[in-house]
């Protein structure tokens, strides 16, 4: 009987340990000194505790951080300004030693790079420069070494908001999940650019075949997000605190709906980021400024968006991320210097605040690692 009891208890202990799950995320930040940088955090899905696992210092304003599919390469922009623009920096990652090794950096030829993505074949890195109003393309090898800028696209123009749209402001670059197009959100020109690409061509982006879609004047498109099938594009309109919904058919964007994120109309808003639940049923968006909230929307199977909840966050919520099990959302609150956690009902999509949080200087982006 004693043996059975001991075996049973030991088995239960093992089972309890095995159910404890952890998720790891990269945190992009704005830095104030060389000891700050990219944080690697771990989230315990059982206890909801957050801890800092690693810190990559000596990088300036790594506001947007991505990895390749194999998680062996990390690329970050350095959102800075100079005669040659900001920077893009690459690292290799060794999972055995759990160490990041800086490889190289290049100037982006545009000030304040704020968005970066790998091409589908991971042979190029495309950087969007906010203040520069341009794109830079960098070849990258299998080890993570970047090469000198191979393509540069400068936009021209402005829109109706004299303070925020005095020139082009590239804010998001996203590849279509299935078709060979890069989509670019230009907040300054109220435009979404669709650029065909050819991985086998010397000129990766086929700019002569690009198609520009104008959005509502003064809206300021900021963040782009496709659903999994690629037939629906969601767009954050930063200046009007709205979400635009577009159908993508026959290589064209067709506007379907615009929905307000806040109750009071505005032309100087601060809507920020977008995330879609894995099942595609719920869309989430952050709004900064006086609102400081995370808005929950039901997609209604890509028919009409419907706001179903707004939850208060910390100050200036920027990017956020859903955990793998979809049961929690972590929010990076730039001006509160905290990452906070919400519980998420996977059926209703609704959120509940938790007491779980961690202090990190000016967190602005979260990426799965």
Give per-residue pLDDT as tens, 176-207. 999 999 999 999 999 999 999 999 998 999 99
What percent of the chain has a predicted confidence (pLDDT) above 70? 94
CA distance 222 to 272: 7
pLDDT score, position 255: 97
pLDDT score, position 39: 98
Q: What is the mean pLDDT of the chain?
A: 94
280-300 mean pLDDT: 97
At residue 2 the predicted structure's pLDDT band, cuts being 50, 70 and 90, is very low
**Cβ burial 251-289 (10 Å sphere, 16+ → b, else e):** eebeeeebbbbbeeebeebbbbbbbbbeeebbbbbbbbb
pLDDT score, position 302: 63
Q: Residues 39-98: pLDDT tens digits? A: 999 999 999 999 999 999 999 999 999 999 999 999 999 999 999 999 999 999 999 999
Of the candidates 70, 69, 34, the residue with the CA atom closest to the CA atom of residue 55: 34
Q: Strand 124-129 to strand 252-260: parallel, antiparallel, or no bridges (unpaired)?
A: unpaired
pLDDT score, position 202: 87
**Cβ burial 323-358 (10 Å sphere, 16+ → b, else e):** beeeebbbbbbbebbbbbbbebeeeebbbeeeebbb
């Amino acid at each position: 009987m004693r043996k059975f009891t001991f075996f049973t208890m030991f088995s239960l202990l093992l089972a309890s340990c095995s159910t404890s799950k952890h998720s790891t995320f990269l945190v992009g930040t704005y830095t104030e000194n060389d000891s700050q940088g990219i944080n690697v955090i771990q989230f315990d899905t059982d206890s909801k505790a957050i801890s800092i696992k690693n810190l990559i210092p000596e990088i300036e304003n790594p506001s947007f951080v991505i990895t390749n599919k194999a998680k062996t390469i990390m690329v970050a922009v350095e959102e800075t300004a100079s005669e040659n623009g900001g920077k893009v920096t690459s690292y290799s990652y060794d999972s055995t030693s759990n160490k990041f090794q800086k490889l190289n950096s290049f100037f982006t030829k545009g000030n304040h790079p704020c968005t970066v993505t790998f091409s589908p074949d991971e042979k190029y890195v495309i950087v969007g420069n906010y203040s520069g109003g341009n794109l830079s393309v960098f070849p990258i090898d299998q080890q993570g070494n970047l090469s000198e800028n191979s393509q540069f696209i400068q936009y021209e123009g402005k829109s109706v908001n004299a303070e925020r749209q005095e020139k082009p402001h590239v804010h998001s670059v996203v590849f279509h999940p299935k078709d060979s197009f890069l989509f670019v959100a230009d907040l300054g020109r109220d435009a979404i650019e669709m650029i065909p690409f050819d991985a086998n061509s010397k000129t990766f982006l086929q700019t002569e075949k690009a198609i520009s879609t104008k959005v509502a004047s003064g809206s300021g498109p900021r963040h782009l997000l496709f659903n999994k099938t690629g037939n629906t594009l969601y767009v954050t309109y930063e200046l009007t605190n709205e979400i635009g919904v577009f159908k993508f058919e026959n290589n064209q964007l067709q506007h379907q709906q615009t929905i307000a994120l806040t109750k009071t109309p505005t032309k100087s808003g601060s809507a920020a980021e977008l995330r879609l639940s894995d099942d595609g049923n719920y869309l989430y968006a952050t709004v900064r400024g006086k609102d400081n909230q995370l808005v929950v929307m039901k997609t209604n199977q890509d028919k009409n968006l419907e706001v179903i909840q707004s939850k208060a966050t910390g100050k200036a919520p920027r990017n956020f991320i859903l955990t793998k099990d979809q049961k929690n959302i972590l929010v990076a609150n730039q001006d509160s210097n905290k990452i906070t956690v919400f519980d998420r009902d996977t059926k209703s999509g609704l959120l509940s605040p938790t007491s779980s949080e961690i202090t990190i200087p000016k967190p602005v982006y979260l990426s799965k690692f």
